[in-house]
Amino acid sequence: MTALVLYGAPVLFALLAWWFSTGAILYLDGLPKRTFRWTMFFVTLALVPAIYGLVNSSQVTTGGAAYAGFASALIIWAWLELSFLTGLVTGPRREACPDNCAEVRGGVRHFLHAVQAILYHEIAVAAFAGAAVALTWGQPNQTGTWTILLLWAMRLSAKLNLHFGVPNLSEEFLPPHLAYLGSYLRRRPMNLFFPVSVTASTAILALLLVSAGRAVPGSAEATGLLLVASLMLLAILEHWFMVLPVHAAALWRWGFRSREQAGALGAKIPGEQVVLRGVAATGFVPDINNLIGGKSLTATAPPSFDSTQ
């Protein structure tokens, strides 16, 4: 029983933290834009103790310190995610990519347009990741830093897969004011990067689990490795959601309620024939034309960030 608790608790904690934090971010981002200033204000207030928790926990080698570092990293990541999803920090390109950009101008030009759309935020994420490494360098408990680095790497992998093309784009996760980002995604049966990214991630997961099994149960090392491994497993699962006939948004039905109240769900993306928007729908209905042609989604340009609306 003791071993079950020591090994199972980190897994359960990571699962619940992943599910709840994702839903909370979706809910806050679906509220009216006038609330965004307050969302960022309170999340920024939480960011300060989270940074302190990340640094302080890295100096302590207990199981509790591993949980503290993991939770601190998730709060820091929530700040980064909300700064992007509210439209506060995105990129210099705040408009949809021209129709048939990939076909007319070539894949490289289309990729550069996508980079421009998220450039500022990617720089911010890199800066936070670099700061986490610097602030915890040489410390015995690296759970928080590992968590941030893993989230960064798997998020980047997911973005690349969505850009190169996958069957299920999960467009419902994009808020209306960032709908233009859909024009940089492509619906295709598969892309060459997907099996590489999933295989590499699975190999890293196996290494994390082996290392956790060799560590002393309940120690900071074992607990931290299990927390990070659980997060890696969930990130791999999110990658598989891109190609499997499932509707992942149903997991966060409560998180989408703020958008449903505002009428954000249920609308089609311009240029698409069929897009599943309601999380109550069952199964996945692909757009056959886009599956064959691999066309990018199109969307209108967003307004600039204005929390007064």
In the chain, domain spans = 2-293
Q: Which residue has the tokens 């209905």?
A: 285
Q: What is the chain's mean pLDDT, rounded?
A: 84
Q: Is the pLDDT of residue 137 over 90?
A: yes
Cβ proximity of 171 and 269 under 8 Å: yes
The CA distances from residue 293 to 76, 193, 303, in Å, are 39, 18, 30
DSSP 8-state code for residue 167: S
Q: Which residue has the tokens 């960032």?
A: 178
Partners of 296 in beta bridges: 186
Burial class for 3, CB neighbours closer than 10 Å (0-12, 13-18, 19+): exposed
Q: What's the mean pLDDT in 277-306? A: 35
d(CA 77, CA 82) in angstroms, rounded, equals: 9
Pick left, alpha or beta for residue 184 (phi over 0 → left; psi -120 to 50 → alpha; otherwise beta).
alpha
Which of 73, 67, 84, 291 has the alpha carbon at shortest distance from 181? Answer: 84
pLDDT for 171 equals 80
pLDDT-wise least confident of 62-66, 72-76, 253-257, 289-293? 289-293
pLDDT for 110 equals 86
User: Which residues, 6 or more positions from 186, have their beta carbon under 8 angstroms from its beta carbon?
Assistant: 102, 162, 163, 164, 165, 290, 294, 295, 296, 297
What backbone torsions phi and psi does residue 187 show, to the nearest 5 degrees? -95, 115
Question: How many Å is the Cα radius of gyration of the chain?
Answer: 20
Residues of the chain above pLDDT 90, percent = 66
Q: Which residue has the tokens 């109550």?
A: 280
Cβ proximity of 93 and 37 under 8 Å: no
- 98-136 pLDDT, tens digit per residue, is 877 766 655 788 899 999 999 999 999 999 999 999 999
What backbone torsions phi and psi does residue 38 show, to the nearest 5 degrees? -75, -35
Which of 138, 131, 125, 174 has the alpha carbon at shortest distance from 275? Answer: 174
d(CA 93, CA 116) in angstroms, rounded, equals: 5
CA angle 238, 239, 245 (to 5 degrees): 85
- 144-172 pLDDT, tens digit per residue, is 999 999 999 999 999 999 999 999 988 88
Q: What's the mean pLDDT in 222-246? A: 95
**Side chain identity, residue 201:** S
Per the confidence metrics, is the pTM higher than 0.85? no
Pick left, alpha or beta for residue 262 (phi over 0 → left; psi -120 to 50 → alpha; otherwise beta).
alpha
- 239-260 pLDDT, tens digit per residue, is 999 999 888 888 888 998 888 7
Q: What's the mean pLDDT in 210-214? A: 94
What backbone torsions phi and psi does residue 186 show, to the nearest 5 degrees? -130, 140
Q: Is the pLDDT of residue 284 over 50?
A: no
Cβ proximity of 44 and 79 under 8 Å: yes
Q: Which residue has the tokens 């959601």?
A: 241
Cβ proximity of 46 and 27 under 8 Å: no
